[in-house]
Structure 1
Amino acid sequence: MKITKVLNNNVVMSKDESNQEIVVMGKGLAFQKKTGDAIESSKVEKTFVLENSNVAKKLAELMKETSEIYLDLSYKILELAKSQLTYKLDNYLYVALTDHLSFAITRHKNGIDLKNPLLWEIRRYYKQEFQIALKALDMVEEDTGVRLVEDEAASIALHLVNSQLSGENMDTAIKVTELVNNILNIVRYYFKIELDEDSINY
């Protein structure tokens, strides 16, 4: 394998045997290396296959300003999600989640924790994704020492849901969640009943 682009000392772009773009990570992998140099296989720790060249470009831009620790975290979170979810995750999720984690952790260190107004709805409607996202918060704490608030789990869960929608805008997942919540509220008020959230009818 040869380097097609150096993103930082530990992350490079390359191509695999089938000419597909990949991101290769490893400590000191690109130190004093340039485009065209061979990648030392002994230093390779992780490889990300990027099916979409647009994703590769955006990831390359992101890695210029973002620590690879966030890409590593995204990789671990997505591997967990892939092992538990039945649907295929869109490749762009690597970029979206890396970017999100970077900003969320930076904000938290500056004493800013954003509230997610859809926390309860996401917890209720996307239970599996929310549980994965809670485990993701544990991973973040383990790797960075930062404990993000539960609202961030809701945001991570929404990224997983959005990825299921084949890379559509995050607004789609939010609108669907709000729509379902509004419909349930109409049913509650019209019939003056409380709904059993664990029932099949619900």
Structure 2
Amino acid sequence: MKFVRNYNNNAALVVDDHHVEWVVVGKGIGFGKKTGDLVDASKITQRFKSENTANIDNLGEYDKSIIDVTSDIVNDVESFLKVKFNDYQYLILADHINCLRTSKRTH
């Protein structure tokens, strides 16, 4: 996979050999990357097929801790309940966590 765009150090947009875009999440996955750089597949903990980049562009607005907490929750829930989150569920959870965090700052 080749690096396309950085959302933050732990989330990036990449393209595979078939020119399909993916959002990948993993510790340091986007750190120091430039367009066209190869992404270390061993760092990828989550990946989402990019069908509508308008929905995933918000990832860049989230603090690193939001992505980290979301990944931790998803991993724990998937393991405990023996279920698999889909892309939409992951992004919605991240959005909810981000909203909770930002609402606490305003109160």
The TM-score, its normalising length taken from structure 1, stands at 0.41
Which structure has more RCO (C-alpha within 8 Å, separation ≥ 6)? 2
Higher helix share: 1
Residue identity in the other structure for 1:100: H
Matches within 5 A, 1:125-144: none
Aligned to 1:53: 51
- Root mean square deviation of aligned Cα: 3.1
* Bigger fraction of residues in strand: 2
Partner residue, 1:93: 89
* Residue 2 (str. 1) matches residue 2 (str. 2): yes
Partner SS for 1:12: strand
| Number of equivalences | 104
Report percent identity of matched pairs: 28
CA distance in 1, matches of 2:87, 2:31: 27
Unaligned runs of 5+ in 1: 113-202
SS for the counterpart of 2:102 is helix
TM-score scaled by structure 2? 0.68
Q: Which whole-Å CA distance do the structure 1 matches of 2:47 and 2:81 have between them?
A: 14
Q: How far apart, CA to CA, are the structure 1 residues paired with 2:26 and 2:83? A: 27
Q: Are 2:99 and 1:103 aligned?
A: yes
Deviations along 1:105-148, one digit per CA (max 9) or x if unpaired, are 333x4485xxxxxxxxxxxxxxxxxxxxxxxxxxxxxxxxxxxx
- Provide Cα deviations, 1:150-185, integer angstroms capped at 9, x if missing partner: xxxxxxxxxxxxxxxxxxxxxxxxxxxxxxxxxxxx
Cα distance, 1:45 vs. partner? 3.8
Shift of 1:90: 5.5
Which is greater in Rg? 1
In structure 2, list runs of 5 or more residues that go unmatched. Answer: none
